[in-house]
Homo-oligomer: A and B are copies of this chain.
């Protein structure tokens, strides 16, 4: 079924008897036909995602929240509702390595990702031609010594291109804690190592040096502290002693694309909850 025919809510609250029953009864009584329900309990905390077919139940997110209000208050719930009223908007950041960028643009072009891309921002001109092919506005804000001015320019572009979340498609300049805090949207990064190993700018070089037998990549939400945010997905690939660093980088690209696009998809589908710097990833 098309995602746009579905509505979903993600709930978290202190664990207590009767939550599932109460919520499903509420939906049932409003005529909503549940097509998917997942729950998770941890440390006395309850998490749930419910999906149902739109139709003769709630008009829109607002009217749902109004109807749900009492129940939400009774249980002390945090609720994120998503009626797929419009496509989410994703701004992409990139630098010179374009494999993650072209992977997302390609998935977008064949409607695999239900997302709009208002613009792409880079600190290098490298991607200009590629992004143009896809008819998407491209902004190059070249890195300068003055990070502050650099980031302010990016903030202005973000302001002019409203978006729901940001994807760092191998954007190779560290964003300041200040920038991360100022931006309202969630930011998803792909790091080219199996975190927490090898944070920083040279993970393949360090992986080679340490002599690991698998290389990896990780997608994660960005927090002010570099490469410390909640991990969304990770994967690895087997390597051999004969593989030089350049080969590790080539092999690693494939994993980077996988874990990055996975994270983007799950975020679009409202299937991620952050709890204690970890992620709950619904199916």
A6-14, A103-111, A141-149: which lies at the interface: A103-111
A281 touches B (CB below 8 Å): yes
Inter-chain CA distance A270–B64, complex, in Å, is 40
Contacting residues, chain B, for A105 (C-beta < 8 A) = 106
State the Cβ distance, A170 to closest chain B Cβ, in Å: 11
Query: Cβ of B210 and Cβ of A234 under 8 Å apart?
Result: no
8 Å CB interface, A244-280 against B: 253-254, 258, 276-280
Contact with B along A181-203 (1 / 0, CB 8 A): 00000000000001111100000
Inter-chain CA distance A195–B24, complex, in Å, is 40
| CB within 8 Å for A212 and B234 given contacts A17-B28, A21-B21, A28-B17 | yes
State the Cβ distance, A131 to closest chain B Cβ, in Å: 11
Contacting residues, chain B, for A231 (C-beta < 8 A) = 210-213
Contacting residues, chain B, for A133 (C-beta < 8 A) = 109, 133-135
Partner of A99, one of B102, B110, B278: B110
Contact with B along A230-251 (1 / 0, CB 8 A): 1111111010111000000000
Nearest B residue to A41 by beta-carbon distance?
Answer: B242
Inter-chain CA distance A210–B228, complex, in Å, is 9
Residue of A24, A107, A134, A234 most packed against chain B (CB within 10 A): A234
Nearest B residue to A104 by beta-carbon distance?
Answer: B106
Query: Cβ of B241 and Cβ of A281 under 8 Å apart?
Result: yes
Partner of A212, one of B21, B195, B210: B195
Inter-chain CA distance A99–B134, complex, in Å, is 16
A74 touches B (CB below 8 Å): no
Inter-chain CA distance A105–B213, complex, in Å, is 26
A66 touches B (CB below 8 Å): no
State the Cβ distance, A264 to closest chain B Cβ, in Å: 14
| CB within 8 Å for A211 and B279 given contacts A106-B105, A133-B109, A194-B197 | yes
Query: Cβ of B233 and Cβ of A280 under 8 Å apart?
Result: no
Nearest B residue to A265 by beta-carbon distance?
Answer: B250
State the Cβ distance, A262 to closest chain B Cβ, in Å: 9
Inter-chain CA distance A137–B139, complex, in Å, is 29
State the Cβ distance, A232 to closest chain B Cβ, in Å: 8
Inter-chain CA distance A212–B230, complex, in Å, is 9
State the Cβ distance, A42 to closest chain B Cβ, in Å: 8
Inter-chain CA distance A109–B99, complex, in Å, is 10
A177 touches B (CB below 8 Å): no
Q: Which residues of A contact B (CB under 8 A)?
A: 17, 20-21, 24-25, 28, 40, 42, 98-99, 102-103, 105-107, 109-110, 112, 130, 133-135, 194-198, 210-214, 216, 218, 230-236, 238, 240-242, 253-254, 258, 276-281, 283
